[in-house]
Amino acid sequence: MTLDLIIAALMTVVGLTTPILLAGLGELVTEKSGVLNLGVEGMMLMGAISGFAVTVFTFNPWLGVLGAAFGGAASSMLFAVLVLQLNSNQVATGLALTIFGTGLSSLIGLSFVGRIVPPFSSIFPAALSRHPVWQVIFGYSPIVYFALIMVPITAWFLHRTRAGLILRAVGENDHSAHSIGYSVVGVRYAAIAFGGAMAGIGGAYFSMVITPMWAEKMTAGRGWIALALVVFAGWRTGRLLAGAYFFGILMALELYAKAAGFSFMPSQFWAAMPYLMTVAALTIISARGTQGANAPACLGKPFLPST
Amino acid sequence: MEPSSLPPRLDLTGITKRFPGVLANDHVGFAVRPGEIHALLGENGAGKSTLVKMIYGIMQPDAGEIAWNGQRVTIANPKAARKLGIGMVFQHFSLFEAMTVLENIALGMDASIPARALEAKILSVMGQYGLKLDPHRIVSTLSVGERQRIEIVRALLLNPKLLIMDEPTSVLTPQEVDQLFVVLRQLASEGCSILYISHKLHEIKALCDSATILRGGKLVDTCDPKVETSRSMAEKMIGGSLKDIQRNADRSFGPDKLVVKALSLTPPGAFAVALREISFSVRAGEIFGIAGVAGNGQNSLLLALSGEEVAPDHGAVVVNGDAVGGLAAKERRLKGMASVPEERNGHAAVPTFSLTDNAVLTARDRLGMVRAGLIDARAARTYAGEVIEAFSVKATGPGAAAESLSGGNLQKYIMGREILQKPQVLVVSQPTWGVDAGAAAAIHQALVDLAATGSAIVVISQDLDELLSLCDTLAVINEGRLSAPMKVADANIEEIGLLMGGIHGEGGSAHAA
Amino acid sequence: MRLKLEKRPEPSIAMQVLTPILSVVATMFIGMIVFDLLGIDGFRAVVDIFLTPLLASYKWQDVAVKAAPLIIIALGLSVGNRAQVWNIGAEGQYIIGALCAAGVGIAFGPVGGFFVVLLMILAGMLGGGAWAAVPAVLRTRFNVNEILSSLMLTYVAAQVLSYLVGGPWKDPNGRNFPATAPLQPDQTLPILVPGTTIHLGVLIALVLPFVFWLVMSRAVFGYQVRVVGSSPQAARHGGFDSRRTIMSTLIIGGAMAGLAGALELTGALKAINLGFPSGYGFSAIIVSFLGRLNPIGCLIAGIVLAVTYVGGQVAQTTVHIPNATAGIFQAMMLFMILASDILIRYRVRLVASAKPQTVAGE
């Protein structure tokens, strides 16, 4: 293998990792507040089309990212109202959001098929971002750096700020938090919206950076991988980052399998690999039972105050 | 004591709160002076909890006035209550299991205080009142008494002018109760008023300056507990005369019906307490009580006896001469072992199911409600009707959802469901927890009557008074170990208290808790 | 004035029946408004999607053939959902079921007849059940979340299909198109109504709901599933093994999806190509909720969903709405039914808000 190939492979891994890292961080915060939102895939698609559409109209990818965050957060509010206000089943409502987001993004996307969007200008000088070697550090879209910065920021928020403490408390024991006087529903709205916004940006990475164009169902199940990632990480931000890169490498394998001479197995085997490995990873983590300690105790349970 | 010319710390007039179908508080009014320890006394369902929730701002009254130091106020939420200087220690602790003591206390503070400064404040408050607690421990590793201390420290950090204590002693050993009273008296002497909610009359006589008694949402009386007798207060609380358990004084016991031999078991789950070498036997006609502070293995013991957890050693549990240790709940029931767990909703009964469907849960095999894999719904409905009738359960009928019944009525139904199956052995946990006095008396009588027919009964309870009045024999469980049994007639409260606190045998000294 | 929820003493049976109907009606109205806003003739679109398939008799056979797999899969999923088990990988189990049936058919070569078809169908059920047994074992032995594992296996199943139809099972006479050879004529299900596409699978889909109803509402097994779903501790107290119950509900779900796949292959499509997975496994989740997890409800809801599928195709040609629209309508119905769930246990009251005047603190 040449250096060029290695650098290209590394950059592919970073690219594949970014969307699941973003969506995973968002879902981690949502779940820490005690809400299981299975609509990640739908929110990613809504973010992908919103970001794409805004960029098409404004020619400004930065506004596009804002649009993606808004699109993801707005669609998450549909879920939030049902789950928080009407106490609907979180699993079923999350599924409904995924089905809905898939359908609605396809419908909106019809008029955007074949359009292209301007790319981000690099935030580093071209000498670095186009450098044959240093591009492996400086050659990415700003979304990649944003995702990486959000890892320590999320960790700091959850464990070093009062707001983070309250959010964890709400996910740990909603009734206690309520009786002390915290707004369980309010905190959860915010956490769901954050999850939606992050998933939206993650989705926009597909339509605005990877391809960059719109295609139906373009996130191809990555929302589900992001959900698995949160469990895999045991609700810890550091392990989420490591897990995201682990899955990123698996997904890159599929693309590089032939080139790397892995043709002893059919291509479908490599395509199925990330999903099989997700199941295997979940099994190892769940069987050890260690992630339970950090799992929010109220995850997925409806909250009904007794007043 | 401050001069009586000062306005009362808290003055309630005409407080009324209505829930669908219930008038929880009906024009309740009383006053608490500065530095006074004021008891709020009443049965379950008398409206005590609703009243204090309104004082603490969790609920709003439909009518009535709250005055604070002579000023009329509206307490919109707990935060507003704390701002006024009202602190509360809940009966069911509002703690976060997976977090540290420090984080739990920080959550109870309204202002953001840096962790270091908060820790220093906590240590100083604990020093002032002689409370011991490590701020960095995770709550799930603490005993019940220690958890209560977190709540107390949390409330004290806010320099409360009024501290509400909701049934604080129900989870403590007699020695821990004494320590708590020392803290409360010190607080009162410093001018803090205390609203002390309880139904334990001897505690109120020992601690409180005055007592307000509620019954059915209405104020019955405000009196001086030092002047009243326990019996007179109890009768005001119940609204009638106390009924004593009726039983044959010269009853005798038959052969062993339940023998437990060196039962050791570690149930799954992070918070379960392992049972260690538990041995005891119960004879026909005997009521065997198991006392202990919550969280010392009572749940594990009930699961191990009912068969919900199977013992590793088949001979560890013997019912009527048959070893059943290796059998699961379904098979043990066929051998004559019935049980009633502590939690009514979600363990003894399915809350959303009808009483008929709940009859099927434990009676289907013993009473032949299943034919060719199909459930005989008519047989189940008939049986549910019989239980409702025999135990005077107040319900709209066998079709009523279990969760629609009051605690006392559901408990009577569950007791009846097991007792009418005529079990050889009945194991019950907390039979009168959260149940009104009428239902409690009925349940106690039913247990005594069942024993009189020759069944062996095990009662696991944290309520020592209940065990002393109900049981023939008593043992204490502590950290999964059971003490040697003693005859209730010869039992010594002091010794039982020490056993509950983990001091085994004689000559042990009380440990500093 | 504000809305206040009051708990009902008993769940309302009227609401259990009424809310799914209202959900469909509300979806039609909202759909009409949304389409008008998008510049499409909303009234026409809704009529075409929801009513044309029912009014035009030549569409009935399409509805019946589409409803059959939806109903059969939803029946199995409802059993799991009752036990609070969330198998969202029915699509994968459906694919594997069809592949197993095809495999048996291919193994028998030119031989066909009743027993071969029966074997193919049984193989489908076994295959689907086995595919679901993976998440079942992982959940009950290692506590792995079945939502994620069952879904991941759907992606794997799609790759298995892609590999088989593009490789070992590729039709040699198929001009290199990735698809299996069409089944032998006597390896297929009989047509029930001559001149239509209504096959034996449709009859099975009509009979099974009544079998499931008997089991779920009368048998101890159905009771056991409901107890495990409502409160696992009470189930243990009643002497039911939660692990075994969860295991069997997942496997039943998989077997039903596998059955649907085998029937779809032998009754409707006769061959497997890359387009074989058409989302029935996901739509069946909606069917199961719209049918309120009740087997007879699933029968009706399956027909409703089939109508929107067929109607969606009609509307594609009449008012030129995209294919994705049917999915949006289905998701909206699911949202509506979930939102109205609360009406079964609660009553909504309009109350005057009595907010006090003086407020201490914030």
Binary contact (A180, B107; C-beta < 8 A)? yes
Backbone φ/ψ region at B400: left (φ over 0), alpha (ψ -120 to 50), beta:
beta
pLDDT higher for B340 or C16? B340
Query: Do B301 and B318 form a contact (C-beta atoms < 8 A)?
Result: no
Give the residue numbers spanning the domain of A147.
Answer: 3-219
The secondary element (H helix, E strand) that includes residue B429 is: strand B425-429
Q: Of A216, A276, A287, which has the smallest distance from its Cβ to C156's Cβ?
A: A276
pTM, 2 dp: 0.88
Say how far apart CA C34 and CA A100 lie, in whole Å. Answer: 14
Q: What are phi and psi of C293, to 5 degrees?
A: 60, 15
The secondary element (H helix, E strand) that includes residue C232 is: helix C232-237
Domain B256-347+423-500: give its CATH superfamily.
Answer: P-loop containing nucleotide triphosphate hydrolases (3.40.50.300)
Residue B164: which of B238, B225, B231, B85 has the closest Cα? B85
Q: Of B59, B94, B103, which has the smallest distance from its Cβ to A176's Cβ?
A: B94
Q: Averaged over B179-191, what is the pLDDT? A: 92
Start-to-end C-alpha separation, chain B: 30
Give the number of other CB atoms < 10 A from CB of residue B21: 7
Q: What are phi and psi of C298, to 5 degrees?
A: -65, -35
Query: Is B507's pLDDT higher than 50?
Result: no
Apex C359 CA angle, C355 and C361, nearest 5: 135
Is the C-alpha dihedral spanning B249, B255, B258, B263 positive or negative?
Answer: positive
Q: Averaged over C291-302, what is the pLDDT? A: 96
Domain count, chain C: 1
Average pLDDT of chain B to the nearest whole number: 88
* Interchain contact A108–C (C-beta under 8 A): no
Within a domain: residue A256?
no
* Pure H helices in C266-294: 280-290
Task: Encode B423-453: b = buried (16+ Cβ within 10 Å), e = exposed.
Answer: bbbbbbbbbbbebbbbbbbbbbbbbbebbee
Query: Do B237 and B204 form a contact (C-beta atoms < 8 A)?
Result: no
The predicted complex's ipTM stands at 0.89
**The two three-digit tokens of residue C177, written as one number:** 């198109």
Starting at the edge strand that comes first in sequence, how are the strands of the sheet with B322-323 ordered? B275-283, B256-265, B317-319, B322-323
Which residue(s) pair with B67 in the sheet? B11, B72
Query: Is B1's pLDDT higher than 90?
Result: no
What's C313's domain CATH number?
1.10.3470
Say how far apart CA B211 and CA B197 lie, in whole Å. Answer: 9
B37-41 vs B63-68, strand pairing mode: unpaired
Within a domain: residue A226?
no
CA distance C144 to chain A (A): 6
Within a domain: residue C55?
yes
What CATH topology corresponds to B10-238? Rossmann fold (3.40.50)
Share of chain B above pLDDT 90, in %: 57
Q: Quick check: do B10-238 and B256-347+423-500 share a fold?
A: yes
**Domain extents in chain B:** 10-238, 256-347+423-500
Say how far apart CA C138 and CA C106 lie, in whole Å. Answer: 32
Task: Encode A211-232: b = buried (16+ Cβ within 10 Å), e = exposed.
Answer: ebbbebebbebbbbbbbbbbbb
Say how far apart CA C121 and CA C260 lie, in whole Å. Answer: 9
Give whichever of A231-235, B116-120, C19-23, C295-299 has the largest mean pLDDT.
C295-299
Share of chain C above pLDDT 90, in %: 73
Residue C251: which of C118, C83, C98 has the closest Cα? C83
Helix-helix angle B407-419:B437-452, to 10 degrees: 10
Q: Averaged over C309-335, what is the pLDDT? A: 86
Q: What is the pLDDT of residues B342-396, one digit of tens each?
A: 988 899 999 989 999 999 999 999 999 999 999 999 999 999 999 999 998 988 8
Give the number of other CB atoms < 10 A from CB of residue C119: 16
Say how far apart CA B81 and CA B75 lie, in whole Å. Answer: 6
Q: Averaged over B220-242, what is the pLDDT? A: 83
- Amino acid B148: pLDDT: 85
Backbone φ/ψ region at B90: left (φ over 0), alpha (ψ -120 to 50), beta:
beta
The contact set of C with A (CB < 8 A) is 86, 88, 134, 138, 141-145, 147-149, 151-153, 155-156, 159-160, 162-163, 166-167, 282, 285-286, 289, 322-328, 330-332, 334-335, 338-339, 341-342
Question: Helix, strand or coil for residue B223?
Answer: strand
Q: Of A103, A224, A289, which has the smallest distance from its Cβ to C148's Cβ?
A: A224
Please give the distance of CA C63 from its chain centroid, rounded to a whole number. 15
Q: What is the pLDDT of residues C93-135, one digit of tens each?
A: 999 999 999 999 999 989 989 999 999 999 999 999 999 999 9
Q: Averaged over B21-44, what is the pLDDT? A: 90
Query: Do A148 and A25 form a contact (C-beta atoms < 8 A)?
Result: no
Q: Of B80, B328, B350, which has the smallest distance from its Cβ to C230's Cβ?
A: B350
Within a domain: residue A137?
yes
B86-89 vs B162-166, strand pairing mode: parallel
Query: Is B4's pLDDT higher than 70?
Result: no
Binary contact (A179, B58; C-beta < 8 A)? yes
Say how far apart CA A43 and CA A69 lie, in whole Å. Answer: 9
CA distance B410 to chain C (A): 14
* Pure H helices in B368-505: 377-390, 407-419, 437-452, 464-470, 493-500
* Interchain contact A265–C (C-beta under 8 A): no
Query: Do C99 and C167 form a contact (C-beta atoms < 8 A)?
Result: no
C352 falls in which pLDDT band (50, 70, 90)?
low
Within a domain: residue A18?
yes
Burial (0-12, 13-18, 19+ Cβ within 10 Å), C304? buried
Q: Of A172, A175, A181, which has the smallest distance from its Cβ to B78's Cβ?
A: A181
Neighbours of chain C (3+ CB pairs under 8 A): A, B
B166 falls in which pLDDT band (50, 70, 90)?
confident
- Amino acid A201: pLDDT: 97
Query: Do B377 and B384 form a contact (C-beta atoms < 8 A)?
Result: no
Question: Helix, strand or coil for residue B238?
Answer: helix
Among chain A residues, CA nearest to C341: A88
B33 falls in which pLDDT band (50, 70, 90)?
very high
Low-confidence ranges of chain A (pLDDT < 50): 307
Domain count, chain A: 1
Q: Averaged over C226-236, what is the pLDDT? A: 94
Binary contact (C327, A106; C-beta < 8 A)? yes
The amino acid that residue C14 corresponds to is A
Query: Do C351 and C2 form a contact (C-beta atoms < 8 A)?
Result: yes
Starting at the edge strand that comes first in sequence, how are the strands of the sheet with B218-223 ordered? B86-89, B162-166, B193-198, B37-41, B210-215, B218-223
Counting Cα atoms < 13 Å in the Cβ hemisphere of B47 gives: 26
Binary contact (A169, B99; C-beta < 8 A)? yes
* Interchain contact C357–B (C-beta under 8 A): yes
B86 falls in which pLDDT band (50, 70, 90)?
very high
**The two three-digit tokens of residue A120, written as one number:** 């981000």
* Interchain contact B270–A (C-beta under 8 A): yes
DSSP letter (8 states) at residue C341: T
Among chain C residues, CA nearest to B405: C9
Q: Averaged over B25-54, what is the pLDDT? A: 90
Residues from chain B that touch A173, judged by Cβ atoms under 8 A, are 94-97
Give the number of other CB atoms < 10 A from CB of residue B181: 17
Q: What is the pLDDT of residues C9-35, one digit of tens each?
A: 677 888 888 999 999 999 999 989 988
Q: Got the DSSP string for B70-111?
A: TEEE-B-SHHHHHHHTEEEE-SS----TTSBHHHHHHHH-SS
Give the number of other CB atoms < 10 A from CB of residue A127: 9
Helix-helix angle C242-263:C200-218, to 10 degrees: 170
- Amino acid A38: pLDDT: 95
Burial (0-12, 13-18, 19+ Cβ within 10 Å), B402? buried
